[in-house]
């Protein structure tokens, strides 16, 4: 038996109050299982919401890793390496192969476990320039791809507008949007080094990048938006943030356009101006990739492989994430501290085991 470690919780609440480290034995895998070692697991905003108990999808609390108290292993996304293959699966898998999770709620903030073959999707590790791209493939790029391709039909040359454009979803939307031939207006929050961030987004394929302060200046926007779009139609909006910026975005969209809200980072409601509903028939839409994956498991698996190819060909790159080393033999306190510090930091962290 190998000893593994996981970050677990037995009740919902503030991560610092409810998370703890569990150490548990992982037996040799059965004939129909695979033993896996996690290589890297990101910390996504939804993982934290899940621990807080404010996320609609909840993992089951079981005795799997903690015999004293039913608990759930935190985390939903991760890159793993197959270390041992059960007899019945030897035709299909081999040790050393990389894979990602086929569904959510399996607990990825851990070092090792055994899984059945339907719980993972194998990858081709030669496609990835770094561990970061593979470890963050299943949530943010999949979301950006679905937002761009599955909400409304878009033609090359059409425009989309998005807030939270420097989020991981936003960065993937910029890169994929460029690949599909779409133009984009991208809104970010102002900051001291904003020109550097604007430049980065342009270099990834953004057409226009604005701070929220520039964007909320209606007179300035009126003067400029037509110059940028040159009659092109803003058919789609992606809202990561909600609040006033999001409802302002809808004002620059074409008649009948659709705004898809996928995040609520500002924690503000979305005020919808009635005139936009009546006179412009703007559609307000939501998108939740977790639901889409559970309803379309085969399409999801195909999408993972398609995104793998977009990474291989250099269309998609991971940016602005921080890899944090945590050796799997680290003690329980180091484990807890590393995760907690990463959770409380601004920006995207990926724990690399």
φ, ψ for residue 126, nearest 5 deg: -70, -10
Q: Which of residues 164-183 bind ligand NDP (CB under 6 A)?
A: 164, 166-169
CB 340 to ligand NDP: min, Å:
17
Task: Please report where in the chains the tokens 């990048």 appear, as a residue.
Answer: 209
Residues 6+ apart with CB under 8 A from 28: 1, 35, 84
Closer to ligand NDP by CB, 93 or 292: give it: 292
Strand partners, 349: 43, 322
Nearest to 263 by CA among 241, 294, 238, 247: 241
Q: Catalytic residue positions?
A: 55
45 makes contact with ligand NDP (CB under 6 A): yes
Six-digit token pair at 307? 């995104």
Print the binding letters for residues 299-328 with ligand NDP: x by CB under 6 A, - otherwise. ------------------------------
CB 341 to ligand NDP: min, Å:
16
143 makes contact with ligand NDP (CB under 6 A): yes
Closer to ligand NDP by CB, 97 or 104: give it: 104
DSSP state of 161: E
Tally Cβ neighbours within 10 Å of residue 83: 17
Six-digit token pair at 243? 């609040």
How far is it, in rounded angstroms, from Cα 249 to Cα 226? Answer: 14
Six-digit token pair at 122? 């194998």
- Identify the three-state secondary structure at position 302: helix
Identify whether the C-beta of residue 269 lies closer than 8 Å to the C-beta of residue 247: no
CB 241 to ligand NDP: min, Å:
4
43 makes contact with ligand NDP (CB under 6 A): no
Print the binding letters for residues 276-295 with ligand NDP: x by CB under 6 A, - otherwise. -----------xxx------
Span from 39-47, 84-92, 230-238, 270-278 in contact with ligand NDP (CB under 6 A): 39-47
348 makes contact with ligand NDP (CB under 6 A): yes
Six-digit token pair at 285? 């839409």
| HSE-up (13 A, CA, CB side) for residue 208 | 23
Which residue in the shown chain puts its C-beta closest to ligand NDP? 263
Six-digit token pair at 160? 């989309």
Strand partners, 255: none
Identify whether the C-beta of residue 340 lies closer than 8 Å to the C-beta of residue 15: yes
- Identify the three-state secondary structure at position 92: coil
CB 139 to ligand NDP: min, Å:
5
Closer to ligand NDP by CB, 33 or 77: give it: 77
Tally Cβ neighbours within 10 Å of residue 90: 10
Print the binding letters for residues 212-251 with ligand NDP: x by CB under 6 A, - otherwise. ----------------------------xx----------
The site that binds ligand NDP (CB under 6 A) totals a number of residues, namely 23
One residue of 66, 140, 184, 207 binding ligand NDP per CB under 6 A = 140
Tally Cβ neighbours within 10 Å of residue 221: 18
Span from 150-158, 213-221, 264-272, 295-303 in contact with ligand NDP (CB under 6 A): 264-272
One residue of 265, 315, 330, 340 binding ligand NDP per CB under 6 A = 265
Closer to ligand NDP by CB, 197 or 234: give it: 197
CB 170 to ligand NDP: min, Å:
6
Residues that bind ligand NDP (CB under 6 A): 44-46, 139-140, 143, 164, 166-169, 189, 240-241, 262-266, 287-289, 348
């Amino acid at each position: 038996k190998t000893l593994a470690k996981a970050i677990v919780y037995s009740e919902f609440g503030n991560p610092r109050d409810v998370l703890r480290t569990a150490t548990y034995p992982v037996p040799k895998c059965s004939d129909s299982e695979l033993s896996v070692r996690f290589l890297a697991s990101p910390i996504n905003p939804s993982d934290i919401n899940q621990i807080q108990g404010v996320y609609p999808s909840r993992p089951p609390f079981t005795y799997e890793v903690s015999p004293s108290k039913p608990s759930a292993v935190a985390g939903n996304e991760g890159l793993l390496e197959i270390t041992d293959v059960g007899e019945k699966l030897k035709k299909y898998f081999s040790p050393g192969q990389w894979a990602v999770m086929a569904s959510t709620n399996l607990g990825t903030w851990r070092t090792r476990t055994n899984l059945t073959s339907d719980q993972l999707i194998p990858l081709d590790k030669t496609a990835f320039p770094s561990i970061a791209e593979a470890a963050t493939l299943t949530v943010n790029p999949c979301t950006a791809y679905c937002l761009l391709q599955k909400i409304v039909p878009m033609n090359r040359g059409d425009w989309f507008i998005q807030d939270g454009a420097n989020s991981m979803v936003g960065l993937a939307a910029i890169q994929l949007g460029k690949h599909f031939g779409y133009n984009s207006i991208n809104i970010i929050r102002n900051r001291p080094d904003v020109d550097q961030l604007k430049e980065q987004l342009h270099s990834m394929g953004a057409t226009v990048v604005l701070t929220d302060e520039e964007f909320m200046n209606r007179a300035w926007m009126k003067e400029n938006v037509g110059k940028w779009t040159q009659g092109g139609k803003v058919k789609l909006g992606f809202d990561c943030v909600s609040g006033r910026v999001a409802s302002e975005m809808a004002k620059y969209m074409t008649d009948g356009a659709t705004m898809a809200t996928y995040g609520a980072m500002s924690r503000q409601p979305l005020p919808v101006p009635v005139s936009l509903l009546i006179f412009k028939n703007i559609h307000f839409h939501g998108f939740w990739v977790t639901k889409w994956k559970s309803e379309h498991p085969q399409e999801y698996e195909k999408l993972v492989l398609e995104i793998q190819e977009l990474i291989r060909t250099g269309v998609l790159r991971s940016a602005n994430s921080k890899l944090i080393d945590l050796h799997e033999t680290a003690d329980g306190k180091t484990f807890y501290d590393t995760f907690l510090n990463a959770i409380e930091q601004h920006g995207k962290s990926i724990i690399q085991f």
